[in-house]
Amino acid sequence: MEQIPFVPSAPNTLGIELELQLIDPRTFDLTAASDELLAQMADHPIADRVKPEITRSMIELNSSVHEHPMGLLAEMREMRTALCEAADAVGVSVAGGGAHPFMRWQERSISDTPRFQYLAEMYGYLARQFTVFGQHIHLGVKGGDQAIALTRQLSAYVPHFIALSASSPYYEGVDTLFSCCRLNAVNSFPLAGHMPPEVTDWYRFEAHLAQLRNLGLAESIKDLYWDIRPKPEFGTVEIRVCDTPLTVERACQLAAFAQALAVLLQREPQPEGGLWLAYRSNHFQACRFGLQGSYVTAEGHRLRLIDHLRALFGRLIPVADELGTTDMLTALRDDALRAGNDARWLRAQFHRLRDLPSVVESMTGAFRGEIGLVGMAGTDPTAVVRRRVRATSEPLGGVGVQTLAEPEPGTAPRRLH
């Protein structure tokens, strides 16, 4: 059996990857401009941290390694500025969000790299449907056994990451009724899901991957579309379930949340109990209903996810005090508990604007940090009349939408983190 070397990292260091949307500023549809944008940034100091993604309407930002999320935030703001300046130069805009609200997957073009061309040949139309946008969070660990242990411990909190980051309620012009529809595209791949429960240490992980290779089911760890997976060449555990938030500030708050949670779990390991039995249901509930979903604990208790999250923040704040990230965690907590997630904000924008291209325009403003100019300030979201309507298979119109899905409970938020 081939051994997989694990490059050790300093524990609890972190980094993130953000997959971002490239937007035509006239139509606010996606535009296949990654080649032009990469060429524009070729001589920039951060050029090696801006990469293509599977289709040419996507771009990926990769942070460097950080000990503290505030350093990460400073870097991501600098990268955002550089990226937006380059985008302006080539005539495109950039947005966060887990899915473009009205793009058509048939119109996407695959990036010209061997890996992406292989995926297109292997997975057919699924490769183009994979034009969805996620945030990956990397947490440093010192060895393979520690990576497996942390992967297992974090698995109970996959719904929390999904619900906090959810920003993909619309897809191909339809309100999907999901807070996060992006993961439905990810789950189409055969090796999606979670790490098998029988993988309890690095040796068993190596054995599992060797078995997949022998059966022709996978060539490398890259073929494992797990929600959380070890990344041995980086020396990290990679959390892969988050939608890309609408702002880099929220992305860094989620990284701070992950760092504090990892420290807490290393100090106070939680019993797995019924974790794997409830895993898929908890995952679905978070995607479908966001923070209002149901959550079944490893001990077999059923409660609202937002209530479990409220208690979890209570346990995390003392850890954040030690790490110096209290402000970031309390901001994430307060926004989640009072205003909801980005999916809820996007629906509020649509209820106000009644036009999906205008919603995308507000997404580009949010990414630039100009949300005060395009946000909800000064509006009365409660004045909008809402109806219960099922999402249909017909795409929503380019200007006005005839049917709306039921919004999440509560009034629409007035601001975006």
Strand partners, 93: 23
Query: What integer pLDDT is reported at residue 370 of this predicted model?
Result: 86
**pLDDT, tens digit, for every residue of 282-329?**
999 999 999 999 999 999 999 999 999 999 999 999 999 999 999 999
Q: pTM of the full predicted structure?
A: 0.89
- Provide the pLDDT for residue 374: 33
Could you tell me whether strands 50-52 and 192-193 are parallel, antiparallel, or unpaired per DSSP bridges? unpaired
Phi, psi of 3 (to 5 degrees): -80, 145
Which pLDDT belongs to residue 373? 31
Residues with pLDDT less than 70, the chain: 371-417
Token code pair at residue 194: 């979670």
Residue among 154, 129, 353, 188 at smallest CA distance from 257: 154
Contact 98, 181 (CB under 8 A): yes
The total of other beta-carbon atoms located within 10 Å of residue 364's CB is 23
pLDDT of residue 390: 34
- Which of helix, strand or coil describes residue 281? helix
pLDDT at 105: 81
Looking at residue 404, what is its pLDDT? 41
Q: Give CA–CA dist 309/390, Å, rounded.
A: 29
**What pLDDT sits at residue 371?**
66
| pLDDT (0 to 100) of residue 54 | 84
β 236-243/294-296 pair status: unpaired
What is the rounded average pLDDT for all residues in the chain? 88
Question: What pLDDT does 392 receive?
Answer: 36
Domain architecture of the chain: domains with CATH: 13-368 (3.30.590.20)
Contact present, 413 and 349 (Cβ < 8 Å): no
Q: Determine the residue type at 80.
A: R
